[in-house]
Amino acid sequence: MKKIIQITSYCLLLFLAVGCQDDDNTLEQILVPQNLEVTMDVTEDGSGNVTFTATADNAVTYRFAFPDGTTAVAPSGVYTKRFTKSGLNTYQITVMAYGQGGVNSSKLVEVTVESDFSDPEAIELLTGGGSKTWYWAASEPNHLGVGPNNDDATQNYFWAYFSFTEPFALANIPAATCAYDDEFIFSTTTGEDLTYEYDNNGASFFNRSYASVVNGQSPDDSCYEFDTSGERAVSLAPSESVVAAERKRGTTMTLTNDGFIGYYIGTNEYEILSLTENRMLLRAIQGNDQGLAWYIILTAEKPVQGSGPQAEEDDFPNLVWSDEFDTDGAPDPANWTYDLGNGQAGWGNNELQYYTDRSDNVVVEDGVLKITAQRESYMGFDFTSARLKSEGLQEFTFGRYEIRAKLPEGVGTWPAIWMLGADYMTNPWPGTGEIDIMEHVGRNQNEVLSTLHFPGNSGANAISEATTVETVSSEFHVYAAEWTETQIRFYVDDELYHIFQNDETKPFNKDFFMILNVAMGGNLGGDVDASFSQSAMEVDYVRVYQRD
C-alpha cells in the first residue's frame, strides 16, 4: 500500500541570478521557475522508499537536498530516495527548481517515513562497539581492483590495472605512494548511529578521471593534496546492486558530505559485500562510468610491508593414492563415480551442460583421462560434459594433491580441478568448505585461478588468486595444492602463487574428495562462443601424497 502526499504550503523563496554580460540578458529572457509543487509517494512496506515528483513552470531541472547530507539532481523532477533510519521518522527536504541562467526557486517539504531496515551487526563489526580504525589490506592481493558492473559481477573479474594483483602493489607506483598512509575510522555512540572519519595524512589517491577536482594535471591515477577532515554521518540501506544475493551481505553504506574511502572515484556509496571483525570487502560504482565496479579490501590490522604470509616447509614423501589412467575405457570405478544431469539451477551456477557418463564425454585412452564438453542437443540441454568425483571412494585430510592436465579451450568453457568437504550432505555448502586447486575460464585463456570457499567467504567473496600460464590448452602443466593444518598453498609447475592461512575456525581440517569437471557457461564461464563445437580437458595423472 502507498500513500500520496501533495505539498502546496511552506515558504517559497525566489532567487534571481542576473549575469554580468552586457545587455544580452534581460528579465524577459531569464524566467524564474514558479508554482513549484512537490508530491511524495511514500511506500508503507517498511522499505523506506519515497518517490518525489517536483513540477514548476519554467524549470529545466530540479535538485533535492536531504538531511543526511546527500543531494540528487533530476532533470525530470522525479527521484526516489530510500530513508533507512529505523522506525517512524520525519525528515525535511529542500527541493529546488532551476530555470535558464541559474535562477531558481525552492520549497521546504516534510515527509514521515517508516523503515524497518537495520544491520546492527555491521555497525558492531565496523566500530567494535565504539571506534575502530581500518586500513588498506595491502598485504592481500587484489586489495584494489576493477571489474564490469553487470550480471557477472564478482571479485574474480578483476582487470589487470597497474599491478594491483600483488601485495603492496601501490607502494611500487610513485604516484600512488600516499595510499597506504590512509586511516578509515568508523565510530558509534549508541550502537545505532554510525559516523566516519578519513585521515589521509594530507593526500589522497585519485582516479585519473577526477584529477580536475583538485586541479591535477597527471594523465594517470595519482596522489593529490586533499582535505578530508571532519566527521561524516553514515547511513545504511539494503543493497540493490546486480550482485546475486548469495554473494553479498545485502547492506550498502552512504557517506555524507561527499565522503569516500581511500580512492576517489566520484562516489560516496559503498556496498558491503563481506564483513568480519578484521576484513571488509567493499564494492563501489565509479561516478562517471556506471559500467565499472571497483573492489576495495580493508583490514582492521595495519599491514607491514614484507609481513605477508610466508610458505611453510612441509614434506609429503608418501604416495597414498594415484590414478595414472593407464587402462583404456571407462575411468576406474574404484576411484571415480559421477554427478549426472544439470543439478539444481545448473549446479548452483546456472551452468548450461548436462553431465553424462557416456564415453562421448568421459573416457580413458592413450594414457590420459579425457573429459569432453560438446555442443549437442541432449535431455533438453544444448551441451554435454562430465563430472567425475572420488566421493566415498578416495577421501583424504591434508597432503599434497598433484594433477597434471591440459585444459580445454573456447570462450564459455569452465574446467575445474577441485575438492569438496565429504560432509556436504549434513553440512551444506559453503559450510562444508571448497578447495579449488585450478579453475579456468575460456575467455581468459592464459589465466588460472585457485580459490577457497567457506562461511563468510564464498561466491564473489571467496579468497581467490590468479596466475598467468601461457600454454594452458596446448601443453600439460602440474597443478598442485599443499594442504596442512596451518596453510593451503597453490602451485603451477611447482611455482608457488597463492598462500592461504588455515586454522581451526575454518572447515579445512577433515576429509575432502576430488572432483574433475568441465562446465559450460554459468556464472563464471559466461556466454559460450557461437562457434564452439567441442573441447576436452586431458588429465595425465592424479596423485595424493601425505606425511609419514
Q: Which residues contact 18 (CB under 8 A, 6 or more apart)?
A: 25, 30, 101
Cβ contact 232:195 at 8 Å: yes
Cβ contact 81:52 at 8 Å: yes
Q: For 241, what's the count of Cα atoms within 13 Å in the CB-facing half-sphere?
A: 33
- In CATH terms, the fold of domain 2-115 is Immunoglobulin-like (2.60.40)
Q: Which residues contact 158 (CB under 8 A, 6 or more apart)?
A: 142, 145, 146, 147, 164, 165, 295, 466
Query: Domain 318-546 - what CATH class?
Result: mainly beta
Q: Residue 490 has which C-alpha cell? A: 597453490
223: buried, middle or exposed (CB in 10 Å: 19+, 13-18, 0-12)?
Answer: buried
Amino acid identity of 309? P
Note the pLDDT of residue 165: 54
Cβ contact 186:199 at 8 Å: no
229: buried, middle or exposed (CB in 10 Å: 19+, 13-18, 0-12)?
Answer: exposed
Domain boundaries in the chain? 2-115, 120-299, 318-546
User: What CA–CA distances, in Å, run from 429 to 124, 153, 378, 425, 459?
Assistant: 26, 21, 29, 9, 11
- pLDDT tens digit at each of 548 positions of the chain: 444 454 433 333 333 333 444 444 444 467 899 999 999 999 888 778 899 999 999 999 999 998 877 788 889 999 998 887 777 889 999 999 999 878 999 999 999 998 888 889 999 999 999 999 999 988 877 788 887 887 555 444 444 333 355 667 776 677 788 988 899 999 999 998 999 999 999 999 999 999 999 998 888 889 999 999 999 999 888 888 888 776 788 899 999 998 999 999 999 999 998 898 889 999 999 999 998 889 899 999 888 765 556 678 889 999 999 999 999 999 999 999 999 999 999 998 999 999 999 999 999 999 999 999 999 999 999 999 999 999 999 999 999 999 999 999 999 999 999 999 999 999 999 999 999 999 999 999 999 999 999 988 888 678 888 899 999 999 999 999 999 999 999 999 999 989 888 988 899 999 999 999 999 999 889 999 999 999 999 999 999 999 97
Note the pLDDT of residue 25: 46
Cβ contact 109:36 at 8 Å: no
The 10 Å Cβ neighbour count of residue 89 is: 15
Q: Which helix (H) or strand (E) holds 523?
A: helix 522-525
Indicate which residues carry an active-site annotation: 434, 439
**Whole-angstrom distance, CA of residue 43 vs CA of residue 1:** 7
The 10 Å Cβ neighbour count of residue 535 is: 21
Closest C-alpha to 271, from 302, 294, 246: 294
Cβ contact 180:138 at 8 Å: yes
